[in-house]
Structure 1
Amino acid sequence: MGGNFRIGRMLASGDLRLVALFLIEEQPRHGYDLIKAIEEKSGGFYSPSPGVVYPALTFLEEAGFASSHADGNKKLYTITDEGRAHLSDNREAIESTLSFLAKAGEQMQRFREFAKADWSAQQEAQGEDAERPRGTPKPDQDLKNVVPELNRARRELKAAIKAVRHGSEDQQRKAAEVLQRAARRLHALSEDDVDI
């Protein structure tokens, strides 16, 4: 992003004050309006918190660069002549900061578009799995390269286990014994094919 890149997504407090004053020069604003205007200038990349904006506004007012008056239960900030002079003296810094915000927003938009395209490609590659909300189990899938009878038996076994898990402890223990016997017999079948 060039030389103006700052660590994190926050502007230096002096930069934020200048941007706030610049936006107040465009039109009188409430603190919330400033937050939204800065977010818009950055293409959604940076949305300063009220905990950063309101101290900046207090500074501008105490420095004589802005004045405020009650507008309902909010304060409406207006630029003063001193504020206009301060902006005039700092036009280069303001333009640099606004340029930084715009470039950061453009890069973030390109990243969002790339991520969306990548997600769409993954969704296509994964088929139905991509439609599934995160944390939900995959739908039951048949085994590949087996006879249909084996898949049918596997599905029946899964359904029977689901049914018995709601039974009593005794029924669950009996089911476990049946499954263990079946597992031993299945292992024995596979051993028959091995030539020792």
Structure 2
Amino acid sequence: MRSDAQALKGHLDVLLLATLTDGPRHGYAIKEALREGSGGRFDLPTGTVYPALHRLEQAGLIAGDWSTVDGRRRRSYHLTAKGERRLAHERTNWREFADAVTSLLGQRPWPATSS
């Protein structure tokens, strides 16, 4: 599997939402949770992650708060109620899609040949 943003096209937003299910994280921690949670396959550049976080915040799916830690300002993000609903919906859609693909791939080689 490719490890760049193109491989995640259409899935990045929901994966970022999923990294926030255990509570708030700052941007770099979100990036690391995505990398670690994928076994290193999704090691994305900050130039991909931060614009996506801003997009999710503008859509009202996450909210951010500024804090200062060790003299450095950082923004921590958390899921909003709208974000939690969206994540639940996307998880349901993913399970249905994965079940359908698994069902098809688990069958005999395709197309079936008649004898």
Query: What TM-score, normalized by structure 1, do the two folds share?
Result: 0.42
Decide whether aligned partners of structure 1 residues 30 and 59 sit closer, same or farther in structure 2, where only a CA change above 3 A counts. same
Q: Which structure 1 segments of 5+ residues have no match?
A: 97-196
Is the Cα contact below 8 Å between 1:18 and 1:94 reproduced in 2? no
Q: 1:43 offset after TM fit, Å?
A: 1.4
Counterpart position of 1:9: 3
**Larger relative contact order (C-alpha < 8 A, sep ≥ 6)?**
2
1:107-154 CA-partner distances (Å, limit 9, x unpaired): xxxxxxxxxxxxxxxxxxxxxxxxxxxxxxxxxxxxxxxxxxxxxxxx
Distance in structure 2 (CA, Å) of the matches to 1:26 and 1:83:
13
Counterpart position of 1:62: 58
Q: 1:45 offset after TM fit, Å?
A: 2.4
Distance in structure 2 (CA, Å) of the matches to 1:91 and 1:83:
12
Q: CA RMSD in A?
A: 2.0
Q: 1:25 offset after TM fit, Å?
A: 2.1
- Percent of residue pairs bearing the same amino acid type: 31
Distance in structure 2 (CA, Å) of the matches to 1:94 and 1:48:
22
Decide whether aligned partners of structure 1 residues 62 and 94 sit closer, same or farther in structure 2, where only a CA change above 3 A counts. farther
Task: Report the secondary structure of 1:14's partner residue.
Answer: coil
Counterpart position of 2:89: 89
Distance in structure 2 (CA, Å) of the matches to 1:69 and 1:46:
25
Q: 1:19 offset after TM fit, Å?
A: 0.8
Counterpart position of 1:80: 80
Q: Which structure 2 segments of 5+ residues have no match?
A: 97-115
Query: What TM-score, normalized by structure 2, do the two folds share?
Result: 0.69
